[in-house]
Amino acid sequence: MYAVGFFAFLHLPLLTLAVFSFNSSRFTVWERFSLDWYRAIFRDPQLIEATWNSTIVAIVATAISTVVGTLCAYGLWKRGSRLVTGTLYLSLVTPEIVTGISLLALFQWIFRWLHWHLGLYTVILAHVAFSIAYVVIVVSARLRTVSRSLEEAAMDLGANEWEAFFYVILPALGPGIVAAALLALTVSFDDFVITSMVAGVDSETLPMVIYAMARRGASPVINAISALVTVFFGIFVLISERIRES
Amino acid sequence: MKLRFWFILPTWVWLTGLFGAPFAIVLAYSFLTRGYYGGVVQPWTLENYQRLVDPLYLRILLRSFIMAFAATGLCLILAFPAAVFISRSAKHKHLYIQLVMLPFWTSFLVRTYAWLFLLRDTGLVNTVLQRVGIIHSPLPLLYNDGAVLLGLVYAYLPFMVLPIYATLERLDPSLPEAAADLGARPWATLLHVIVPLSRPGIVAGAVLVFIPCLGAYLTPDLLGGGRTVLVGNLVQAQFTTGRDWPFGSAVSMILMLLVTILVWAFLRRESEHLA
Amino acid sequence: MLYDRHELRRVDPRMKPVLELRSLVKDYTGQRALAGISLSIPRGSFFSLLGPSGSGKTTTLRMIAGFEEPTSGDVLINGEVVNCRKPYERNVSTVFQSYALFPHLSVRSNIEFGLKRHGIADSEARVVDAIKLVGLIGKEGRRPAQLSGGERQRVALARSLVLAPDVLLLDEPLAALDRNLRKQMRAELKTMQRRVGITFLLVTHDQEEALSMSDQLAVMNEGRIEQIGSPEEVYLHPRSKFVAGFLGAVNWIDGVGVRPEVTRLARESQNHGSKSFPAIVTDSVFLGDCFQVVVRLNSGEEAVAQVHRGSTVFQPGEAVHVCWNPADEITVS
């Protein structure tokens, strides 16, 4: 009853998008089944380059933020720091537009001295900045299930602090780190607001291209892209859940 | 242990460099003046903040608040029954929660675009209504406050469902049973027992929805088509077309201040409740 | 056979005591956990720290292991002060109450862990010996999650013993096991200790455990050691009311203590060298192997006597005489 309507509300819009991505007509009147729009995607060099950029940014930013975030979560687990935790939460709560413009302001200010320009690297830096908080949260949650005596036992048996972390805690964290990385990947891949503020002229990402197209009006190509992106994300989520459950 | 210092150091560097420093710069900019070609120059001034008192901007602020408030309220009304349903279902609880979270995991941009696709003049809603004969020419469903509200609710609904669901799961099942035993009908039990006890979840959900809605930029931009100007759009405009960075910084600071106050109030409340 | 860490040579037992604590004090904010602990543990013995929770026994153990630093006082291992040494720099090993097995490693890898960290090559034989010692042959490949509680404890033991530590610290090792298993493990631990000859230091709140396994034990209370001695000494000749009461039940009659198992009840007053007091039976509880009879003396004091089945059955309300052999008395200062 209500539940059906609720879930329908949540999922139908996306399903409709997907369905009509196979429609040969531009309008929401069903003509015939067609893969034209999908083909159009692969013929558009701008799209392909943007997707490539998004992928690179996501992978690099995720790699950095996962490492930094995991180390931070571990450090906080040994002894909490209200300052660090508070700042991390603050970074999560800050509206994206504010984060975006503040990073833009920072980069422009630095560029006054260095004569550099915005580019893919500024996007990566920005993505790491907001991803760290997510990684810390996920890894911290996992750390809470790890008994402290595990670390003590390792040291008791002859491992120093670093060895205890590397040989005992890290393996125990395994699935948590993977889940955190996947979260960071999806967040990074999907980001638009912050990216649009700090990206250079040649460094467009997929969300930026989608936005530009959407601004010009709806187009079935966007439907097709959306369907692909959704499936892609969906697979990621499934993998993440599987790993989390193990 | 010294090692702990090195572990947190990278995060510290990143937070200071890419969060603290930008914040400080924006704060400084908010007290400076707009340069002739759009940069930021001296003198130091309070003018940017004074400008905010202008009714034009106050109206934008107010509209943002109302929009966020409305979105939160709608989310609450829609999410609560769903959360109750999921927590009551014996078998597929986990599946339902996954279903709720699934849209969240897909691209935010795509989800917002979906409503663009559905509500436009040649969109699905209008086409269906015309085919059925209810209307003869397309309704302007898009590019107005209503569309933005719909987009916001759709985007943040899962954020409201989860905290309420979590609280309901922790509810002692014998409490509603005791209420029934004492003579309360299902509706009364819901109103007088379940709703009050799920307050922590409701408050958490409200905060999780209200704050992003307050600072929303993408949804009003895409679905409001420039006619719905919220605080987020105002800030973005100053840093791009408007070329008035100091003023944009001032607006950002105010927005941050509001958000920080809300979060602080929320955390205070939570720790009071826990104590 | 006594081990020395890397070299496996015989050690002269006349060397300095393997573990010595000198006036150990530990303060936490607003609380003194240890108020001056001094101990000397003979090499190769089975030593227990016995006391209620909060007595400081676990704190003492953790200080010996290196997880806590003393506020003042010294910890000496083989005559060397080790206060500032990290846990991985000390030749003591701990069996944790929760066993703390590494969940991602197999039984064998868990046992090998310490050897690898110390860089000891060719450890295959030692690992196999350890597995044999704890009786886990055939289960080397399993993960901790696939083992029973008792099996996990054996892995924890093997993991620590394989390093041939100077002292093996055991933190309430039997607490997580069920009753029957506990009795079995008590005997096994004792046998194991005799076989390997390593000094065992056990921390427990269970007096039966301490009495049955130890060569010597120290009774702790509120951060202090109340008495050190062999099980018989501490049980039969406790030096304080606390020790007397913690080791077993005591009747305090007329200023002296008498344990229920040596308290006898008789219908007539006894004269041959025993003390005797008139009393009324207030309760008689059948415990299976004996009766526990509660009597109230004329002075108002209550006493419990353990009466074996087969002798006279006492009913509540009867007038009896409580008597005991003065040699069985416990006098405390």
**B11 lies in some domain:** no
pLDDT tier, C1 (very low <50, low <70, confident <90, very high otherwise): very low
Q: What is the DSSP letter of B52?
A: T
- 3-state per-residue secondary structure call for B137-196: CCCCCCCCHHHHHHHHHHHHHHHHHHHHHHHHHCCCCHHHHHHHHCCCCHHHHHHHHHHH
Q: How far apart are CA A152 and CA A159, in angstroms?
A: 9
For the segment C92-103, the average pLDDT, to the nearest whole number, is 90
Which 174-213 residues of chain A touch chain B by CB within 8 A? 186, 189-190, 192-193, 197, 207, 210-211
**B56 lies in some domain:** no
Chain B's closest residue to A78, CA to CA, is B4
What confidence score (pLDDT) does residue A135 get? 92
Chain C positions touching chain A (beta carbons under 8 Å) = 65-67, 86-88, 92-94, 96-98, 100-105, 113-114, 117-118, 159-160, 163
Tell me the chain A residues in contact with residue C163 when contact means C-beta distances shorter than 8 Å. Answer: 157-158
CB contact under 8 A, C104 and A154: no
**A-C Cβ pairs (cutoff 8 Å, strict):** 63
Q: Which residue has the higher pLDDT, B102 or C239?
A: C239
Q: What is the CATH number of the domain that holds B221?
A: 1.10.3720.10
For the segment A162-188, the average pLDDT, to the nearest whole number, is 88
pLDDT at C54 over 80: yes
Which 127-156 residues of chain A touch chain B by CB within 8 A? 128-129, 132, 136
pLDDT at B97 over 90: no
Which structural domain, as residue segments, surrounds residue B143?
64-227
* Average pLDDT in chain C: 88
CA distance A172 to chain B (A): 18
CB contact under 8 A, C93 and A147: no
Tell me the chain A residues in contact with residue B14 when contact means C-beta distances shorter than 8 Å. Answer: 68, 128-129, 132
Task: Say if strands C216-221 and C46-50 run parallel, antiparallel, or are unpaired.
Answer: parallel
Domains of chain A as residue ranges with CATH: 44-215 (1.10.3720.10)
User: Across the interface, which of A155, A167, A168 has its CB nearest the CB of C87?
Assistant: A155
User: Tokens representing C71?
Assistant: 């506020």
Using DSSP, state whether B39 is helix, strand or coil. coil
Torsion of CA A142, A144, A146, A147, to 10 degrees: 180
Q: Which residue has the higher pLDDT, B256 or B275?
A: B256
What confidence score (pLDDT) does residue B103 get? 79
pLDDT at B239 over 70: yes
CB of A170 within 8 Å of a chain B CB? The answer is no
CB of A74 within 8 Å of a chain B CB? The answer is yes
pLDDT (tens digit, 9 = 90+) per residue, C168-184? 999 999 988 888 888 89
CB contact under 8 A, B117 and A17: yes
For the segment C46-57, the average pLDDT, to the nearest whole number, is 93
**B26 lies in some domain:** no
**B115 lies in some domain:** yes
Tell me the chain B residues in contact with residue A91 when contact means C-beta distances shorter than 8 Å. Answer: 15, 19
Q: Report the domain count for chain B.
A: 1
- 3-state per-residue secondary structure call for chain C: CCCCCCCCCCCCCCCCCCEEEEEEEEEECCEEEEEEEEEEECCCCEEEEECCCCCCHHHHHHHHHCCCCCCEEEEEECCEECCCCCHHHCCEEEECCCCCCCCCCCHHHHHHHHHHHCCCCCCHHHHHHHHHHHCCCCCCCCCHHHCCHHHHHHHHHHHHHCCCCCEEEEECCCCCCCHHHHHHHHHHHHHHHHHHCCEEEEEECCHHHHHHHCCEEEEEECCEEEEEECHHHHHHCCCCHHHHHHHCCCEEECCEEECHHHCEEECCCCCCCCEEEEEEEEEEEECCCEEEEEEEECCCCEEEEEEECCCCCCCCCCEEEEEECHHHCECCC
User: Tokens representing C306?
Assistant: 């353990």
Domains of chain C as residue ranges with CATH: 19-91+165-241 (3.40.50.300), 250-328 (2.40.50.140)
For the segment C14-26, the average pLDDT, to the nearest whole number, is 87
**B256 lies in some domain:** no
Percentage of chain A surpassing pLDDT 90? 22
| B58 CA to centre of own chain | 20
pLDDT (tens digit, 9 = 90+) per residue, B46-80? 888 888 888 888 888 899 999 999 999 999 998 88
pLDDT tier, C4 (very low <50, low <70, confident <90, very high otherwise): very low
Neighbouring chains of B at 3+ CB pairs under 8 Å are A
Chain A's closest residue to C118, CA to CA, is A158
pLDDT (tens digit, 9 = 90+) per residue, C200-215? 999 999 999 999 999 9
pLDDT at C12 over 70: no
